[in-house]
Structure 1
Amino acid sequence: MAEPDASLLEAPVPALDSPPSREQQVTLKRSASTSFDDIHDQSLSRKRLKEEHDSHSEPDGNALIPANDSALAEQLAQELQCGCCSDLVYRPVLVAPCQHFFCGSCCVLWIRNGGTNCPACRGPSTSVTPFRALQSVLDILLRVAPHKARSERERLQADEIYTGTSMRIPAPREASPEPDINPSDFVRPCPNCVLGNPYGWRCPQPIVDPNVDPDHAWPSENGTPPGHALCGNCENLLALPSPLTTKCDFCQVSFCGINVQNRCSALAIVSQQPHGLSDVGDLIQTSAVYDVFNHNTIEVDILFDYLTAQRITPRYIYREIVAHIQAQPRAFLPLIELELFVDMHGVSAGTDPDPAAARNKICRHCATEVFLYGLRDWFLRERQKGFLEESVLSRKDCVDGARCNRQTDLDHAKQCIALFHHPTAFLIFSQSTI
């Protein structure tokens, strides 16, 4: 057996369990790896940089909103702008059927200023209601981005205008036909002057057609031919003795009863419809209502809320006013003496044969005058029925009465209401239950 090499026996054999030397440790480390200490140091550096950046940055309305949420809030605010004021909609209302939305106060002001149909598309509206679903979205948006909210002053002003009730934007009213303007120097025949006309009655003094017999035609410079007048509504020529012709006992103007149904006529007083006052929406846009209440907007808003809640129409109010006036000893005579019905139309009126005579027929415009004259007193009587809220019923009558000059003062208006509007109202309504 061969003996082992002596050099191999003398060389030291490393122990399997012994730790590697420092030089070996260095060579065993990977150059691409990062120690835990290095990671900790880097995270602290990034944190310090962020804190320094935040400390030097200016405060912003979006500071507490993450970047994605801020962009979404901004985009949503753009989509929810009011079509009237172009700002974030406040207390929104929805117009049906077109589905456009606006601030409630903007919609009320649109109606008050004579706006008809939807302010955006000009389409006819059947109703305007509070848009509660959109209000919920607005509440969420303002919680995320409170800097988008209207100022407190704007909110208070809007709340004074819109009280949260449903309403209607009135459609454009039917226009009267154009007057039958005579282009020549002669008056043309009225509908009843024509032989064989469809109305079953012919004028006893027919006007000669200037195209047929110009030598016997009636010259325009001579005024209205005998037995004829101009209609108070369409302003076309009419025959005074015609069975279709009616005359208003208040303004003394005649109506043809032919051209525009229910408008070219004077009807029995209680049956007439006040001109331009079909519903509460028409009242809202009638500036004369504010004149009746001495521009006390608080009282007018209470009136509108009451009429909406009770579903009371202007025609119902008109009939109650008429019944109350007719029950007074002098009936309509005080209104005649005040000359409320003078120059009601664009045509010449007849002469009142007896101011103290009973009144039987009335035109639409004079019916509106009666309505506006008695509206305030009607609402004062209506308060006693107890349907209004306690805060409204507790308001006292102003000690200055009709002489009160503080009805435009909101603080004063919230506390009391002036009793009467017209100087002689006490003579008319002295027997009222107020």
Structure 2
Amino acid sequence: MAHDSLHHQQTLLKRPASPSFEGMEESSRKRQKEHVPDEVPGQEPSANVVDQEPVIDGGALVNGLAEELQCGCCAALVYRPVIVSPCQHFFCGSCCVQWIRNGGTNCPSCRGVSNIVTPFRALQPILDTLLLAAPHMSRTERERAQADELYKGGSSMRLPSPRSASPEPNINQSTEYARPCPHCSPDNAFGWSCPIPVSDPNTDVEHAWPVEDGLPPGHQHCGNCENLTAVQAPSTTKCDFCQVYFCGIEVQGRCVAAPLSTQSPHGMSDVGDLIQSADVYDCFDGNTVEVEIMLDYLTAQGITPRHIYREIVTHLQSQPGGFRPLIDLELFVDNHNVSPGVDPDPNAPRNRICRLCASEILLWGLRDWWVRERQKGFLEEDVMARKDCAEGQACPRQKDLDNHMIAPRPTDAANVSEAPPTNETDEASAQPPANILTPLPPISGLLQHL
């Protein structure tokens, strides 16, 4: 009786089969019959039907993969790949460096707005495997060396933000007669007229000044727009470094030699301009790691090239020689396409400067400024923990992948030889002590006297 009751409870607890599983066994048999291949007359049926593997053409696969991995700039197999965000296009690291230095501010492929370029580490193993299968696709040793000079794998880059184009200067197009300056007209809007005005060749060709006769009296060419400018005009300024005049009229902010502390270096308005400038990397002898550390610091601190220029000027003004060492190096010669004036006194104070000369000062003092800035201790701990290289710029490892910090330039005191004694006390100290015995003559000389 108890056994019947237990069997009844188990029967009630069992769930009925789902309708979706009903007829499963029968339908499975039907599908198996449908998949059985038709028997060929005169051939025994095979017990196990094995699918044949597709045949892969290795040469076609290698060529197709190499075509997909071409750089979007040089159209060759990508070398040290980097990827642009956010569009995810990849290029050679060296090609991307050249793109940025030549003024690129977006992706070289889609021209989309981009801001950072990072190493494409996931693609490098695929390239290595491809080159093992097809060594002939590898670049030559010279090509790899040239690419490594521009970019070392593992470092990120920034794409500078686009900036507005500079206004076009009003260049003097006349090749036969000189074009009058803005002050040559007696009824000009500037409130000052030239004592010896230049006639306009369009209205008075008989009295026009021929270009082959040189510059008209009292006039010079503007260093920016290259038009004639009156030397004595109130708006005319002169750069005390390159001795070039500027009209102060044609292009505002550019045709002027401003005071030292207020001028802006030419082509160096933000950190993006420093990224694009190859001269910045030349200042550090190709030490790209040090330049990247500096650029990260400038970006984090919000320091502009103009701020750096002002600190360099302040530092030079505090030195005994001032700007004389830079002038002796002829750093400001031939900066413009116009003939400069005459420097009346090389030791005269320098109060005004043009934009091009300001850029020369910035590039000349950028490396030493960075060394002084690092000594303030504002960098990250891991950067400050790196030791300076004692050889500095002369170290041959500056361009290696394992770059190191640069050391300051050696001071002049280290190269100065010891001075001779100047008084009797020094002369006495320079003499050997009196109690030191003189050396004995050789034994052979003593035997001759015996």
On the 8 A contact 1:84/1:102 being kept in 2, the answer is: no
Q: Does the aligned pair in 2 maintain the 1:395–1:416 contact within 8 Å?
A: yes
Aligned to 2:300: 309
Contact persistence 1:116–1:171 (CA under 8 A): no
Q: Return the alpha-carbon distance in structure 2 between the equivalents of residues 426 and 248 of structure 1.
A: 36
- 1:159 is displaced (CA, Å) by 7.2
Partner of 2:285: 294
Shift of 1:236: 0.7
Show the counterpart of 1:410: 400
2:172 maps to 180
SS at match of 1:195: coil
| C-alpha contact (below 8 Å) 1:128/1:167 kept by paired residues | yes
**Contact 1:272–1:362 (Cα < 8 Å) also in 2:** yes
| Contact 1:420/1:426 (8 A) holds in 2 | no
Residue 7 of structure 2 corresponds to which residue in structure 1?
none
For residues 372-401 of structure 1, the C-alpha deviation after alignment (integer angstroms, 9 at most, x for no partner) is: 111011111111233334443233333334
| Partner Cα distance (1:306, 1:144) in 2 | 34
Structure 1 residue 405, shift from structure 2 partner: 4.9
CA distance in 2, matches of 1:367, 1:162: 34
Q: Cα distance 1:127–1:409, how it changes in 2: closer, same or farther (>3 A)?
A: closer
SS at match of 1:397: coil
TM-score (norm 1): 0.68
What residue ranges of structure 2 are gaps of 5+ in the alignment?
A: 1-37, 133-137, 416-450
* 1:301 alignment partner, SS class: helix
Alignment gaps of 5+ in structure 1: 1-30, 63-69, 428-434
**Structural mapping, 1:337-348, within 5 Å:** 337-348=328-339
Q: Distance in 2 between matches of 1:266 and 1:371?
A: 16
Provide closer, same or farther for how the CA distance between residues 88 and 225 of structure 1 changes in structure 2, counting only shifts above 3 A.
Answer: closer
Aligned position for 2:104: 116
- In structure 2, the partner of 1:209 is 200
CA contact 1:117–1:172 (8 Å) conserved in 2: no
Counterpart among 205, 221, 225 of residue 216 in structure 2:
225
Return the TM-score normalized by structure 2: 0.66
Q: Does 1:355 find its partner at 2:346?
A: yes
Helix, strand or coil for the counterpart of 2:115?
strand
- Contact 2:105–2:114 (8 Å) recurs in 1: no
1:254 is the counterpart of 2:245: yes
1:233 is paired with a residue of what secondary structure?
coil
Aligned residues: 361
Q: CA deviation at 1:175?
A: 5.7
- After TM superposition, the structure 1 = structure 2 runs for residues 4-403 of structure 1, keeping only pairs within 5 Å, are 40=47, 42-43=48-49, 46=50, 50=52, 83-86=72-75, 90-94=81-85, 101-103=89-91, 105=93, 106-112=95-101, 114-118=102-106, 120=108, 127-130=114-117, 160=152, 163-168=155-160, 170-171=162-163, 173-174=165-166, 176-177=168-169, 179-184=171-176, 186-402=177-393
Per-residue deviation, residues 211-260 of structure 1 (Å, max 9, x unmatched): 44444332322211111100001111111111111111111101111111
Deviations along 1:84-118, whole A, 9 cap, x unmatched?
255579442237xxx58444834333112x14344
Distance 1:117 1:301, change over 3 A: closer
1:265, CA displacement in angstroms?
A: 0.8
CA distance in 1, matches of 2:414, 2:259: 26
How far has the Cα of 1:143 moved from its partner? 10
Distance in 1 of aligned mates of 2:206 and 2:126: 85
Does the Cα contact within 8 Å between 1:229 and 1:254 map onto a contact in 2?
yes
In the TM superposition, residue 301 of structure 1 has moved relative to its aligned partner by 2.6
- Contact 2:118–2:156 (8 Å) recurs in 1: no
Partner of 1:23: none
Range 340-349 or range 207-216, more displaced: 207-216
Q: Give percent identity, aligned residues only.
A: 47
Give the residue type in structure 2 aligned to 1:129: I
SS of structure 2 residue aligned to 1:92? strand
| AA partner of residue 173 (structure 2) | I
